[in-house]
Structure 1
Amino acid sequence: MISWDDPAVPHWDFPRSATGVGVLVEAGNTLGVEAGTILRGVGLRPAELANPDLLVAPAQELAAIRNLRAAAGDRPALAAEVGAAYRLTTFGILGYALLSSPTLRDVIAMTLRFIDLSYIFSTFGVESTGDRIVVRLGDATLPEDVREFLVDRDLFAIHSVLGDLVPGGLPFTEVTFAGGRSAETLAAYRERLGPAASSPDRGDGVTAVFDAVHLDRPLPQGSTAAVAVAEALCRDLAAARRTRGPVTSRVRVEITGRLSHGAAMSSVAAALGVSPRTLRRRLADEGTSYQRLLDDVRVELAERMLATGLLSVEDVAIRLGYAEASSFIHAFRRLTGTTPHQATVASRTRTSAAPRA
């Protein structure tokens, strides 16, 4: 009997990297859909999508998905086309952890442990039945208007990532798109998955099956040492996101996307559909305040930008929403006890002193 833990986060309402929206923009570009069309109402600019540290709320990615679907028109295989655009490199440090995993069994365990470092919307679960491994993607909690698209996209994203991990790809012996798919859509899916794909009228979600014999075959780039490092990095990144309450997490996401425009509390409250007074109360219930979160986000991003050595203090100040560099320097000193210049020098010293492989 094979068993895995349940996903560490059993829902899709978690902050995610803006890279996921970037994938949607790239997919749209191949279909002739402009980035501005996909990003309409999303609250992101194309240049921001290259920042893997920028977090977005699920609602922002859903808005981009709706825009892409509307602009793409009648494309039976759109979910498959978008899903195939997700590769191991799309997932950042999680992708590296999966690539370093010694076996497919380890890949599954890693995915479940850090599911919230991905872009999945479906409820993800894996179980064994005899010599079969069954991957289930549930859609019961997904928004109805994009439910079918999301669960199908997630399945094809998994299929694409497995193709990066397993030489020749991982053949599914059975794939069921429950709830019914059009004959045209199912035909397009079979071109990618093989004849095993079917679509009964009843049920929900998607089920994919593969032979358990693949579980413990060594993966070509698996490394015990590398996966240990990658898992530790995933753990740190996930912990930083999970230790905050749901309101705190969403506010941090909204602040991050609005910093260059000032990140006024009123605009963040409006984005969350509450009044500033209600937002203030909910943050207090979680033991924090809007100003504290704004300061924290500014310091974190400032330290990262300064450490690159590519931006001047003036550039960082503008990106963080300060009217002038002197205001940024004063705030940074107050919050960290050092100046931006001193922080930059210290970061460069640590980097130069680090051992080289």
Structure 2
Amino acid sequence: MTSSSGSTALGSAALGSRTLGSTSPVWAVPRGTEGIRIMVDGGVARGMTTSECLAGTGLDAVDLDDETAQIWAHQEFVVIRNLLGALGDRPGLGAGIGAHSTLGRTGVIGFMMLAGPTVRAALDRAIPYLALSPTHLRFSLEEGSAGPNGAGIDVASLLAADDEIPADVRTFVVERDLAGLAAALRGAQIDVGITGLETTLGPESAVILGESWGLTADEVRPHAERNRLAITRERLDARLPQGDENTAKLFERQCRELLDDRLARVGVAGQVRSRLRHERESWPSMAEVAGELHIDVRTLRRRLAAERTSFRRLLDEVRHHRALELLALRVPVSEVARELGYSETATFTRTFTRWEGVPPSRARRAVQIERVP
């Protein structure tokens, strides 16, 4: 298996000797609109409008029709929050929306999986490039361990880490992405032979998710430390109906080029900016961001300087933008300060005044006056 080779890209794909997985954080790579289109389809099917689904994302219906449009993870999370707010944060909502997924909607990575030529080869090839797909889970294939509930020695595990997902949307994402994978594989007539599931989800969500894989309640374990699907090794080696090694290699090269191109286009600054917007109330340090990108702080500082910016400047920019968003929503100034990571409202007020020339209270009044018809 060939790893991504772009020298300008941070967090490019890499393979371990035993466990396969992408080292690109879910927030570091801009992606197509497939995931948002799936969620909008699900929202509209449940009575929402496209505008309601997209509120606050900076996107509109025209963007969804643009096959070249690219978005960031935090924009998808805004759509999820819109869905949860309008439809209710209830077990099964994510799984139901994930049912709209198909391999075709994942683009070139889906066609690479169809070309296999085996289930194992399809997974091995796809995992390093999942940043090109709608999923936000970090998948890896692990062999040599027993399956969920400790049963079977001839079972491999498809792991799906959810630790990079903001807590308020995590249940929805786990449901959507794992149920979506089941729907996509089923639609492509790929049987991976799942024999059991353990998941971080609660009991009701876990049972609903298990049903999407054809599992009974006793084959599912909720409140687990991680998400894990058990696969028989026999199924891993099964040939796919449309498998072809040469075609798979061609699609793999296209995936590698696409990933490198996307990372190069947004640069290091774009990736850092995306990380700062990834969670609502989380403001990571420069050292934390560098670690997540698998580089040291000095390298991150040098690459940002080459793009004529700095971590401090990007943090200031993102906080400024978020402050204006929150004030437009009439969030109290004290809450805005807290969400932006300021220990005192007075400190935020001084910083905002430096940004806008007026304190946040006056900026709020200006926004309210502009909204009067």
TM range, smaller chain = 0.5 to 0.7
| Aligned equivalent of 2:306 | 287
Q: Equivalents in 1 of 2:173, 2:137: separation in Å?
A: 7
Out of 164, 180, 204, the residue aligned to residue 141 of structure 1 is 164
**SS of aligned partner of 2:164:** coil
* Aligned counterparts, 1:235-254, within 5 A: 235-243=256-264, 245-249=267-271
* Aligned counterparts, 1:185-196, within 5 A: 185-193=205-213, 194-195=215-216, 196=218
**Match status 1:155 vs 2:178:** yes
Going from structure 1 to structure 2, the CA distance change for 1:116 and 1:287 (only over 3 Å counts) comes to same
Q: Equivalents in 2 of 1:4, 1:29: separation in Å?
A: 42
8 A contact 1:180–1:200 mirrored in 2:
yes
Q: Equivalents in 2 of 1:283, 1:50: separation in Å?
A: 38
| Aligned equivalent of 1:38 | 53
8 A contact 2:175–2:209 mirrored in 1:
no
User: Which string of whole-angstrom CA distances, capped at 9 and with x for unpartnered residues, describes residues 241-285 of structure 1?
Assistant: 234543235779xxxxxxxxxxxxxxxxxxxx9xxxxxxxx8983
Q: Equivalents in 2 of 1:86, 1:179: separation in Å?
A: 20
8 A contact 1:104–1:216 mirrored in 2:
yes
In the TM superposition, residue 107 of structure 1 has moved relative to its aligned partner by 0.9
**Match status 1:229 vs 2:243:** no
8 A contact 1:173–1:209 mirrored in 2:
yes
In the TM superposition, residue 154 of structure 1 has moved relative to its aligned partner by 1.5
Going from structure 1 to structure 2, the CA distance change for 1:284 and 1:189 (only over 3 Å counts) comes to closer
Q: Which amino acid aligns with 1:220?
A: P
Going from structure 1 to structure 2, the CA distance change for 1:251 and 1:53 (only over 3 Å counts) comes to farther
**SS of aligned partner of 1:56:** coil
| Aligned equivalent of 2:194 | 172
Going from structure 1 to structure 2, the CA distance change for 1:59 and 1:97 (only over 3 Å counts) comes to same
**Match status 1:118 vs 2:112:** no
Going from structure 1 to structure 2, the CA distance change for 1:235 and 1:141 (only over 3 Å counts) comes to closer
Q: Which amino acid aligns with 1:285?
A: L
Going from structure 1 to structure 2, the CA distance change for 1:19 and 1:164 (only over 3 Å counts) comes to same
**SS of aligned partner of 1:55:** coil
8 A contact 2:38–2:98 mirrored in 1:
no
**SS of aligned partner of 2:107:** helix
**SS of aligned partner of 1:86:** coil
* Aligned counterparts, 1:267-306, within 5 A: 285-288=304-307
**SS of aligned partner of 1:173:** strand
Going from structure 1 to structure 2, the CA distance change for 1:135 and 1:3 (only over 3 Å counts) comes to farther
8 A contact 1:9–1:115 mirrored in 2:
no
* Aligned counterparts, 1:176-215, within 5 A: 176-178=198-200, 180-182=202-204, 185-193=205-213, 194-195=215-216, 196-201=218-223, 203-215=224-236
Larger RCO: 1 or 2 (CA < 8 Å, sep 6+): 2
8 A contact 2:159–2:228 mirrored in 1:
yes
**Match status 1:216 vs 2:231:** no
Going from structure 1 to structure 2, the CA distance change for 1:154 and 1:93 (only over 3 Å counts) comes to same
Q: Equivalents in 1 of 2:185, 2:54: separation in Å?
A: 29
> Please, what TM-score do these two structures have when normalized by structure 1?
0.65
**SS of aligned partner of 2:55:** coil
State the number of aligned residues: 259
Going from structure 1 to structure 2, the CA distance change for 1:231 and 1:37 (only over 3 Å counts) comes to same
Q: Equivalents in 1 of 2:200, 2:109: separation in Å?
A: 29
8 A contact 1:174–1:208 mirrored in 2:
yes
| Aligned equivalent of 1:11 | 25
In the TM superposition, residue 4 of structure 1 has moved relative to its aligned partner by 4.8
* Aligned counterparts, 1:323-338, within 5 A: none
User: Which string of whole-angstrom CA distances, capped at 9 and with x for unpartnered residues, describes residues 210-261 of structure 1?
Assistant: 2110112110111123212211211110111234543235779xxxxxxxxx
Q: Percent same amino acid at aligned positions?
A: 26
| Aligned equivalent of 1:82 | 97
Q: Equivalents in 2 of 1:9, 1:119: separation in Å?
A: 16
Q: Equivalents in 2 of 1:142, 1:49: separation in Å?
A: 23
Moved more, 7-16 or 24-33: 7-16
In the TM superposition, residue 286 of structure 1 has moved relative to its aligned partner by 4.8
Going from structure 1 to structure 2, the CA distance change for 1:96 and 1:62 (only over 3 Å counts) comes to same
Q: Equivalents in 2 of 1:165, 1:131: separation in Å?
A: 25
Q: Equivalents in 1 of 2:240, 2:129: separation in Å?
A: 20
In the TM superposition, residue 5 of structure 1 has moved relative to its aligned partner by 4.8
**SS of aligned partner of 2:306:** coil
Going from structure 1 to structure 2, the CA distance change for 1:3 and 1:189 (only over 3 Å counts) comes to same
Q: Equivalents in 2 of 1:134, 1:221: separation in Å?
A: 24
Going from structure 1 to structure 2, the CA distance change for 1:5 and 1:134 (only over 3 Å counts) comes to closer
Going from structure 1 to structure 2, the CA distance change for 1:8 and 1:73 (only over 3 Å counts) comes to closer
Q: Equivalents in 2 of 1:172, 1:131: separation in Å?
A: 13
8 A contact 2:269–2:307 mirrored in 1:
no
**Which stretches in structure 2 are left out of the alignment for 5+ residues?**
1-15, 146-152, 275-282, 284-300, 310-373
Going from structure 1 to structure 2, the CA distance change for 1:123 and 1:30 (only over 3 Å counts) comes to same
